[in-house]
Amino acid sequence: MGMTENMRKKAARLAAAVGVLFAAVPWLLSPAAQETAQASSIRLTALEGKVSVAAQGGKAVAAFENMRVLNGYSVETGQESYAGFSLDDEKAAKLDALSSAEVRKKGKKLELLLSEGSVFCDIKEPLEQDETMNIRTSTMITGIRGTVLYAKVVDQNTSAVFVLEGNVALQGIDPVTGQMTSVSVGTGQKGVAAAGTGGVSGPGVPAVRAYVEPFSKEEIDGYVLTQVAADPELAGRLEAAGWDTRWMADNAAGRLEEDQRRAAQELERLEQLGGAGEKTVSDQVYGDEDSDSGSGEREARRTVTMAMPVTAQEIAAQLEGADVTVIQETGEAWPGNLTLDCDISVPPGGKLEIGAGVPVYVESGSTLRVDGTMRTAESLSGSGTVINTGAHTLDIGGDFSMSGILENTGKLQVAGNLIAEEGSFRNAGAGTISVRGDMILAQAEPDLGGDAIRVEGNLTLWVWQGEPCVLGNNLEVSGALELQGGIFKIKGGVYRGGAVVDGVLEMSGGSLLSGRADCAIEDVSMAEIRLLGGRVLAQSGAQAAVMMGGGELSVQANVLRVEEPWTTAFVAGSGTLKLPGSGSLQIEDLEDGDLEAVEGADGWELSVFSPAVRRAEAGRRSGGDDPEVRESERPPVSSPSEAKPEPEPPSEDGETQDGQETPPTHIPDIPLASPSNAG
């Protein structure tokens, strides 16, 4: 994301300020200071902005640097405000802006109760056998031994932990049923604990779900990046764990500023909805889960339970002054949908719950507007209009299938698939969409903006007309990306299951990974693919970075990458390959050693300066076809077990004694495509 010159200057000043703050006031007490206090005492060692402290029972305590934080104390940070802790001489923590945590300590057992926001922990040495340290949220317990990580409350039903170094044990907990499930989370992985919908999940639906997936440096929060940038010792450990800490330092200030901007937008939106600018992170453990302020306090609304069959008009009338729960009574099965054939609005602070056995259908011409919280245990479908601005969530327990209008500027969670055919689709503003299944959009001009779109399954975009469909930094897809029929521009985002292209693709940013697929990009219908930036990575086990099916591929330097260059091709299949400064090359005619690569941060990167390009240029200069290269003159294919022969000394005109141009000695010959690599 680009910045104006003023923004760059502001980011530089912000980075300098953050660095000075956390370098001058480190989390960990100096050895001299620790001599005056017990090593096991917890202290508040760094303050920035508005930081509030309360003793057990809620009594306010003045906050100051180096103060002791006793058992039961809670610490809360305001907007653009941060707090650093020393837990002892080998443990440190940092509380993000708009966060709240309580400290509980008994002997060698330490627990941080994170009720909202995010906390970063740096545990330099593994804990002793009799020591324990946990981070607890409403849906998750993270057991720490010796780790660098940060945990965050995503929403009232979801928490996550991001492990930068080490391993943690994560337990997902449903706050209503108490059901638990466990996973192990390692370096470079995030663990997510997602609870059910408070008892309306329905038969066969787990009350809590925990899963693990990788994350990239681009996903790391700004307040964490600033700490890495200001702490050389921490940066060294993360560098050894495989992280690009130089990138972290370069991008820390800009990412922090972006996080602060988004937080300000969210607070402004909530204030407009009646939150008076207060934080509104839901807290199912320490407050009322239905509160819109996160404090457990709101104007009381009674709850009305309605048994099917009921009408949309009856529900709309009750929602004006009460929360509504619609249930399917045992033994009284209702054969159809709950049809919304009139406009229904869930007001700010209000709640509509539709229980198990009651799918919802929005009829054409009707509008469902959610400004509060709505949960369905079953599917939501229809040809009408759905507008979600909820400060909490529109939480759908099944599939969400619409052929009408969907506009989301709030939080939308779908446990099944999200399918939007015809009509219009718009995610904008602070809108977030989380889909556990597949997401399919078959529309003229879908708007994939907003704060975040996360898809655990495949994302299919079928665009047949209109402006190019733009995919930005807010997208994260765990499965395959399927692009059909239109013009697509990938400017950012992370796509972990490869891309299948039937149309025109232009990529200038983001990451396309092969995952478990045979390639990172597959041309299935003579597609036109232009790779101008970002990275396209063939991971271990893939056949190629790009598999062409007769189309045209244009590639800039250092975009195509492979983890296993000795067994994986950069390009395979058939079609035309265009590289900067060269003519067209036929992919099916390329052989081992025709293109070269340089070693990069995550594998080997395709270079555009290659023997094939030089032969093509030589052929054009001579006015004929490309000169034939004898087998003895073709550069050998290197492998880890084969030493590459030293080149002959070049003559003064830059050629070797046999008349060939001297290849760059730092660039190994790696196969582009071969019969064995092309499959």
Q: Determine contact, residues 503/529, Cβ cutoff 8 Å.
A: no
Q: Determine contact, residues 108/90, Cβ cutoff 8 Å.
A: no
- Peptide bond preceding 309 in cis form (omega within 30 of 0): yes
Pull the structure tokens for residue 581.
């400064």
- Nearest-5° angle of CA 142, CA 143, CA 144? 110
pLDDT number for residue 330: 53
Average pLDDT for the chain? 79
Pairwise CA distance, residues 512 & 495, whole Å: 5
| Interval 375-414: pLDDT, tens | 999 999 999 999 999 656 899 999 999 999 999 999 999 9
3-state secondary structure 64-117: CCCEECCCCCEEEECCCCEEEEEEECCEEEEECCCCEEEEEEECCEEEEEEEEC
User: What stretch of H or E contains 361?
Assistant: strand 360-362
Domain boundary assignment for the chain = 15-149+218-264, 302-457, 490-627+673-679
Report which residue type is found at 231: D
| Interval 485-541: pLDDT, tens | 889 999 999 999 999 999 899 999 999 999 989 999 999 888 899 999 999 999 999
pLDDT number for residue 288: 36
Q: Determine contact, residues 432/411, Cβ cutoff 8 Å.
A: yes
DSSP 398-452: S-EEESSEEEESSEEEESS-EEEESSEEEE-TT-EEEESS-EEEESSS-EE-SSE
Asked whether residue 648 carries a pLDDT value surpassing 70, the answer given is no
CB-based burial label for 132 (10 Å; 0-12, 13-18, 19+): middle
Strands (DSSP E) contained in 516-602 are 519-523, 528-531, 535-538, 544-555, 560-562, 569-578, 584-586, 597-600
Q: Hey, is 41 helix, strand or coil?
A: coil
pLDDT number for residue 565: 79
Pull the structure tokens for residue 470.
């733009």
C-alpha distances in Å from residue 474, one per residue of 428, 451, 622: 11, 6, 50
- Enter the DSSP assignment of 675: H
* Residue 611 pLDDT class (50, 70, 90 cuts): low
Q: Which of 267, 266, 342, 345 is nearest to 310 (CA)?
A: 342
| Interval 296-331: pLDDT, tens | 334 457 888 888 889 999 999 999 888 899 887 654
Asked whether residue 582 carries a pLDDT value surpassing 80, the answer given is no
| Interval 29-84: pLDDT, tens | 333 333 333 445 899 999 999 999 999 888 899 999 999 999 999 999 999 999 99
Pull the structure tokens for residue 617.
């240029």
Query: 598 or 495, which is more confident?
Result: 495
pLDDT number for residue 223: 96
